[in-house]
C-alpha cells in the first residue's frame, strides 16, 4: 500500500507546521499549504510553505512534503491545493485546516472589512476546502475512509475585543456538527480540534501578558492529537470536538438544553418572568466574564 497523503492548510508555521511534521514522521506524505501572511492576515509570502516543506523533506526519510501557495478561502486556490496532493501523491486521505488570522477590535470599532476577513479566513476556508475535497472523493470509486479536521480556538468561548474571532471559531463548531452528519454515508469523518499552544498569535501579545511560554506550551504537543484525528486510528470518531493543550487532551461538550419550563395554556410576559426565575434558580444568568 502507498503511504497516506494529507493536506495541511496553514502548515507553514505554528500548530499547522507541527502537525505537518508529525504526519510526515508517522510516514504520511504531506502538502504544506500556506498564503504566508502575517498574524493579522496582511501580505503574502510563497517562501513560507516552500521553506517548511523543504525542511520536513530534509528531516524525514520515509515521507515526502511538497508546498502549495494559496488562499484556502478562495475556491480556486482551495481546489488547487487539493489538486497538488493528487498530482503529487495520487491520493488525498485527509485535510487539516489551521488557517487563521487575528483582528482584535471592539464591536463599535470593528470595520466591515475586518469582520469579513476574519470570518472568511476561519470559516469560509473550511467550506471551500471541504466542498472541493468531497467533490473529488465522491468521484473516486472505492470505499476508502477520509477525514477532515477543522481547527477552531478557545476564542470560540468568547473574549472581550474578539467578536469576529469568537464568532468565526464558534461557527466552525456548528460547521463540524452539520458536516459530520451530512458526510457520514460518504465515508468522510469530520471533527474539530480546539488547540492551545505557543504560536505567532501568542507572540503578538505583549510579553508581560502572554499566558504561557513556548517551553510550557509547545505546538509540538498538540500535533499528535491532530494526526490521530486524521488517521485511520480514529475511524470511529466523527462530529467530535477535541481539545489539546500541553500534556492534556479532552472532549468539549456540545450545546444542550439543560432546563425546561412548560405552560399548558401558553405564555405571556408575566408568566415567562415568573417561570424564568424558577427555572434559573441556582444558575448564573449574568454571564459577562471571559470564558477563556
Catalytic residue ranges: 165
How many C-beta atoms lie closer than 10 Å to residue 265's C-beta?
6
39, 200 contact by CB (below 8 A): yes
Cell of 251: 472532549
Beta strands, E only, 216-266: 241-245, 248-251
Please identify which residue in the block is written with the cell numbers 491545493: 81
CA-based nearest residue to 17, from 44, 48, 45: 48
Cell of 194: 480546539
34, 49 contact by CB (below 8 A): yes
Q: How far apart are CA 9 and CA 70, in angstroms?
A: 9
Bridge-based pairing state of the strands 94-97 and 5-9: parallel
How many C-beta atoms lie closer than 10 Å to residue 168's C-beta?
27
146, 96 contact by CB (below 8 A): no
Amino acid at each position: 500500500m502507498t503511504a497516506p497523503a494529507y493536506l495541511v492548510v496553514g502548515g507553514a508555521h505554528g500548530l499547522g507546521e507541527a502537525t505537518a511534521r508529525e504526519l510526515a514522521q508517522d510516514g504520511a506524505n504531506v502538502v504544506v499549504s500556506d498564503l504566508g501572511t502575517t498574524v493579522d492576515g496582511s501580505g503574502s509570502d510563497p517562501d513560507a510553505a516552500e521553506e517548511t516543506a523543504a525542511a520536513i523533506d530534509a528531516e524525514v526519510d520515509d515521507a515526502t512534503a511538497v508546498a502549495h501557495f494559496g488562499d484556502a478561502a478562495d475556491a480556486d486556490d482551495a481546489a488547487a491545493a487539493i489538486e497538488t496532493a493528487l498530482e503529487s501523491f495520487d491520493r488525498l486521505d485527509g485535510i487539516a485546516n489551521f488557517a487563521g488570522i487575528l483582528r482584535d477590535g471592539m464591536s463599535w470599532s470593528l470595520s466591515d472589512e475586518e469582520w469579513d476577513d476574519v470570518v472568511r479566513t476561519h470559516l469560509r476556508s473550511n467550506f471551500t476546502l471541504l466542498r472541493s475535497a468531497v467533490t473529488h472523493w465522491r468521484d473516486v470509486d472505492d470505499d476508502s475512509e477520509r477525514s477532515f479536521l477543522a481547527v477552531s480556538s478557545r476564542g470560540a468561548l468568547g473574549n472581550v475585543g474578539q467578536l469576529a474571532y469568537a464568532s468565526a471559531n464558534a461557527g466552525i463548531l456548528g460547521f463540524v456538527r452539520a458536516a459530520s452528519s451530512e458526510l457520514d454515508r460518504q465515508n468522510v469523518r469530520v471533527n474539530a480540534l480546539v488547540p492551545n499552544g505557543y504560536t505567532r498569535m501568542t507572540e503578538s501579545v505583549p510579553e508581560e501578558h502572554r499566558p504561557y511560554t513556548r517551553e510550557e506550551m509547545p505546538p509540538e504537543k498538540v500535533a499528535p492529537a491532530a494526526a490521530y484525528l486524521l488517521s485511520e486510528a480514529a475511524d470511529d470518531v466523527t462530529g467530535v470536538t477535541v481539545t489539546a493543550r500541553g500534556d492534556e487532551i479532552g472532549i468539549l461538550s456540545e450545546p444542550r438544553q439543560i432546563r425546561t419550563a412548560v405552560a399548558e395554556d401558553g405564555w405571556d410576559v408575566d408568566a415567562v418572568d415568573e417561570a424564568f426565575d424558577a427555572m434559573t434558580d441556582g444558575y448564573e444568568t449574568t454571564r459577562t466574564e471571559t470564558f477563556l
